[in-house]
Amino acid sequence: MAGSGKTIEITDGNFASVVEDGGGLTMIDFWAAWCGPCRLVAPIVEQLATDYEGRLRVGTLDVDVNQQIATRFNIRSIPSILFFKDGKHVDTVVGAVPRSLLERKIQEHL
């Protein structure tokens, strides 16, 4: 669930430089190792990172390790997938959702 070749591991330390200072669309999966639904969503997130490479940045953020950013965005349930356009938070999806819903959100914000 931590960053694969196509996903970026987002941390409290690199959030500003990777997400807020970055242009375009970024999707971040807020997850934790103990979370069963997070394990269901992780392969979908990985596949979207591959399928949308060059058009969408995809990151993962472990909420147990990076509590500052999780608190800042009021993450109460995981998985939570947040979308950022040109550094601004524009959308949130909570729960283990189907790929089609995430793709709809991506298309809406690209």
Q: Which residues are catalytic?
A: 35, 38
What three-state secondary structure class fits 44?
helix
| H helix intervals, the chain | 15, 36-51, 67-72, 99-109
What three-state secondary structure class fits 87?
coil
Q: What is the distance between the alpha carbons of residues 37 and 95, in angstroms, rounded to a whole number?
A: 7
**Tell me, what DSSP letter sits at residue 14?**
T
Amino acid sitting at position 20? E
